[in-house]
Amino acid sequence: ITAKDTAEVLERLTDVETQGPDLIEVRFDYMETPGNPGIIRDSTDLPLIATNRRKDQGGHSRTSEQDRVALILDAVEAGFDYADLELNTPDLDELGSRAKALGGSLVISHHDFEGTPSAEELRETMGQMVERGADVCKIIGTAQSPGDNLTYLSLFGSPRERRLVCFGMGRDGILSRVLSPIAGGEFTYASSHEGGGSAPGQLTLAEMREIYTLMGV
């Protein structure tokens, strides 16, 4: 969910819950005023991911780094199930430990907006995330051709890799967005409404549901 304030998040939640999402990511970095994690948590029983994305990772956070990560930790303390912290976050080890101590699971994420790294580079990135304590590794690149989808999907398979989110952004990466959870990914992302996407090539939840229905899954 991308929204300008807490009130709009609640509106989006009401709309999207009728479509049957499995979990919801709240993008606090899209808010024009600081969001209220407690009110959001109390409004739904669905699992929630707290994300306050750094600008150098494609986000819109307007606050200091200290305030940015503090809001994520506040959300976990309020009952959010996942904290999303970027691999290049300063003091990641300490912050990740704090998120876990508060009862949250740690998503360590990395986004490449230039292209698709090799499968070897993706696995190296995943290894770094595992070493830093990731419960879920989120590794996203930008597909430059349909063949890049195979690179992302090739990461799924071994037990060590089962808690992995990996696909390509952009129109050419839609296939990996759709197929990654079928291949063994922890989950995939969709926007709550038309025009509400947080990344290139992101389909709406309704579109994703229609595709999965047509696929029989």
Residue 133 DSSP one-character state: T
Tell me if residue 138 is catalytic. yes
Contacts of 161 (CB under 8 A, 6+ apart): 126, 137, 155, 184
What is the token pair recorded at 74? 């506040």
Please answer whether residues 110 and 134 qualify as being in contact, where contact means their C-beta atoms are separated by less than 8 angstroms: no
Tell me if residue 55 is catalytic. no
3-state secondary structure of 32: coil
Please work out, in degrees rounded to the nearest 5, the angle formed at the alpha carbon of residue 110 by the alpha carbons of 81 and 20.
40
Instruction: State the burial class of residue 138 (Cβ atoms within 10 Å of its Cβ: 0-12, 13-18, 19+).
Output: buried
Contacts of 111 (CB under 8 A, 6+ apart): 57, 58, 140, 141, 169, 199
Please answer whether residues 146 and 172 qualify as being in contact, where contact means their C-beta atoms are separated by less than 8 angstroms: yes
60, 100, 110, 138: which one is catalytic? Answer: 138
Measuring CA to CA, how many Å separate 107 from each of 1, 16, 39, 133?
A: 17, 23, 22, 9
What is the token pair recorded at 136? 């879920």
100, 110, 111, 193: which one is catalytic? Answer: 111
Active site residues: 111, 138
